[in-house]
Chains A and B, each alone.
Chain A
């Protein structure tokens, strides 16, 4: 099957900065894929090259098999991009903006679909409002609508929820999820790791222009310590036998690292032997944020 996105050995330099240092990625059709990394890791550069907004120094990039340089018309038709910056054209209303955007893709009679997207994004009431008069959240919705006018099979969202309120964020994710269920491939970049964890089935982590982790979200989370035990004891000191397990201590509460539930019993036994009493106990599971922080620390970039 033709991959939705195929990125092979892509290098890109901006002056002295090596923005991308040999990226390889493949995203299958229908995936919900996350692209994570700190600022400056190269996420937006990857997206810009996909969209034809930037050109790779070397390597090849394809969208549904169409090379983004040689067959740029086909690759751009296959791609819908929601940009990171909150941009708009102050000369036009919401409906004009969407009609014009359709026209750029050669779609003349697109009003039914435009109405449907506006409905899903709660924009119907603002259809004839000038772009200038919209709030930031509304402008963000129009950007999403603009990316969808040509029903692209592959949708890229570059930090679409930055500075967006909770209600819109949830509405947006519900909509994007439904698009994914209808078969659209979704590529998402975000700084909200909970969001990535909840939505993305597979994740690539970038650091300084390289892919430093690439796996399914569940494998990424499970490949580390399996769980944490948060303990508060009557004694201020932790039994020395447990010292090796300590991940962190704050205000008399200690977080211990465990491989599995089977180790819980041993830990409790050691607490009992030391004559201490448990005042509080909680089992915690590592989340994507823990994994992210750890991978970014380990990766040399």
Chain B
């Protein structure tokens, strides 16, 4: 097994051993959102004229869970290793910074997908969904989880204490996901907030992801995908540059 393969395996094993907390808990939390919001919003006019609100909500919630869990995986793994000191076990071997980057980000993608699929499967028991373009669904889920996995990696490298990771999560990741159109179509917003939403990269991930289900969206999905992959490229470059410089890992 290569060094990269082992690090990926170790990262997968790490969250799998506590799957109740890392997979089951976020699935449950997302379902609570679904039950409460779909109940409160019952009777609201269908979105895009044809999509019932509950169905509209599901992809948004799935993507939100995907994004948040991708971030949580890389960031919590790294900060735990740094605080307890066992990060040296991966710093001493001949792993390249590419190995390091790819293993942490891919493990985050896998956990995010596992949570996303979990939410989706359970939601199907309550809400009827269409799958208009499955490949688009996958492409956006991958891009979104890889971006957030990379941001989690960057936050985990930068942070020195648990509360710094929590701050990153509460003051950056949470607002960006909640205000990205998880719970509404931005066309229902006043013009100012519509404009502002277009500067939120998370908006394109959720909108494009939703296109994969319903075949309709606020923005052309090709443009959303382009924006998502450009964001991924930028985050990847930043993460690799940090790792290469040894920032906060190799003093």
Contacts and interface: CB of A to CB of B under 8 A. Distances in A.
Tell whether A and B belong to one assembly.
yes
A155 to B, nearest CB: 12
B85 A85 contact: yes
Given A55-B246, A76-B92, A106 B2 contact: yes
Interface string B1-28: 1110111011001100110000000000
Contacts of A53: 88, 91-92, 250-251
Given A100-B10, A104-B7, A73 B96 contact: yes
Contact of B93 (A55, A76, A91, A108): A76
A104 B6 contact: yes
A146 interface: yes
Contacts of B17: 91
B18 to A, nearest CB: 8
A236 B14 CA distance: 72
A72 B244 CA distance: 12
Interface residues of A, number: 33
Contacts of A88: 84, 86
B3 A91 contact: no
A239 interface: no
A89 B17 CA distance: 13
Interface string B210-251: 000000000000000000000000000000000000100011
A79 B93 CA distance: 9
Contact of A52 (B7, B85, B89, B91): B91
Contact of A73 (B2, B81, B94): B94
A51 interface: yes
Contacts of A92: 13
Contact of B84 (A73, A87, A105): A87
B90 interface: yes
Contacts of B13: 91-92, 96
Contacts, number: 81
Contact of B89 (A74, A89, A90, A150): A89
B29 interface: no
Contacts of A146: 89
Contact of B3 (A51, A89, A105): A105
A48 B250 CA distance: 9
A83 interface: yes
Contact of A104 (B84, B95, B250): B95
Given A48-B251, A72-B94, A73-B94, A101 B89 contact: yes
A106 B7 CA distance: 11
Which of the listed residues B14, B18, B85 has the most CB atoms from chain A within 10 Å of its own CB? Answer: B85
Contact of A103 (B1, B18, B81, B92): B1
Nearest to B10: A100
A81 interface: yes
B32 to A, nearest CB: 28
Contacts of A81: 88, 92
B88 A87 contact: yes
Given A53-B251, A55-B251, A105 B91 contact: no
Contacts of B5: 103
Interface of B: 1-3, 5-7, 9-10, 13-14, 17-18, 81, 84-86, 88-96, 246, 250-251
Interface of A: 14, 48, 51-55, 72-74, 76-77, 79, 81, 83, 85, 87-92, 96, 100-106, 108, 146, 150
The 7 closest A-B pairs by CB, nearest first: A103-B6, A104-B93, A87-B85, A73-B94, A76-B94, A89-B86, A54-B251
